Amino acid sequence: MRTGKNGICAGRVVVVTGAGRGLGRAHALAFAAAGARVVVNDLGVGLDGTPGPDSPAARVVDEIRAAGGEAVAHAGDVATGEGAASLIRAALETYGRLDTLVNNAGFLRDRMLVNLDEDDWDAVVRVHLKGHFLPLRHAAAHWRQETRAGRRPEARVINTSSGAGLLGSLGQGNYSAAKAGILGLTLVAAAELERYGVQVNAIAPAARTRMTERTFAAAMAAPDDGFDAMAPENVSPLVVWLGSADSAGVTGRVFEAEGGRITVMEGWRPGPTTDHGERRRPEEAGAAARKLLAEAETPGAVYGT
């Protein structure tokens, strides 16, 4: 990686959570290569969210600096108010500004629903959903203040959902619910923050990371054509573009990204409908529902089925 001082994000300050490994690391390196100054956040925990032996954030910072870029590490817990606040302060105190927030931090505690205990539910929902909300809240407060001071930003937020949030995934009820919640948060934030110069979008990436290595085990072998479709670096170009000023006018959208493929997801919208004009009896409601279902598109299959 070489940093590009005249790249698409030259002059911008970018915060990436969960940036010590996998997708977050790829995003941080890609932003630096595009000319951004990067705040690399990672708590340094294991796959299940328990403390790890060291923090990888500093290693990513070293990579960026070795390539001529600018970066600083942050090891706070973004699912706490103080951790999220200190993350935004790190950008402002180090570089004097904040332009882009990439919410990426997360971990897994997979169980089938009948085996999923309350602690595993709370832990996953906390880091994914609350870990998106709190950095977004503190960043948005800063951008609102800037707008009110006459300095309307060209701010960007990229949230990280998943195909599990779009379709569901067997054994991942907690993760699927949290990732679906991130989509709802993205839509609300896009509508509320547009007046402050903030665009908010979400990605649903498919890539090989610690969290997905079992899911994509069949794709782990080296590709014959030299293109590793499951490499996390494939997702980062879209994230960098969404985090740049070049993405002006794009907000409230959800993108799937995998390998060389990008898909705009169209989400929930009204399908077939009927209006009886008055209250139905249960049997009438059932007959109407079955008729509508016969006219509707079949939903995508839940992952793992």
Q: Which residue has the tokens 């701010």?
A: 155
Using DSSP, how many helices (H) and how many strands (E) does the chain show? 9, 8
Q: Coil, strand or helix: which one is 253?
A: coil
- Count CB-CB contacts under 10 A for residue 242: 23
Asked about 161 being catalytic, the answer comes back as no
Among the listed residues 86, 169, 179, 244, the single catalytic one is 179
DSSP 98-122: --EEEE-------B-GGG--HHHHH
The two three-digit tokens of residue 174, written as one number: 């907690």
The identity of residue 109, as a single letter, is R
Say which of 55, 86, 161, 162 is annotated catalytic: 162
Q: Phi, psi (5° rounding) for residue 158?
A: -120, 115
Instruction: Report the SS3 class of residue 64.
Output: helix
Tokens describing residue 192: 């509320």
The answer to whether residues 119 and 55 touch, using CB atoms and an 8 Å cutoff, is: no
| Contact call for residues 305 and 170 (beta carbons, < 8 A) | yes
Q: Which one is catalytic: 175, 176, 236, 244?
A: 175
DSSP 208-238: -STTTTTTTGGG-SPPTTS--TT-GGGTHHH
Residue 179 annotated as catalytic: yes
Q: What is the DSSP string of 163-202?
A: HHHHH-BTTBHHHHHHHHHHHHHHHHHHHHHGGGTEEEEE
- The reply to whether 130 belongs to the active site is no
DSSP lists the bridge partners of residue 257 as 205, 262
Catalytic residue positions, numbered: 162, 175, 179
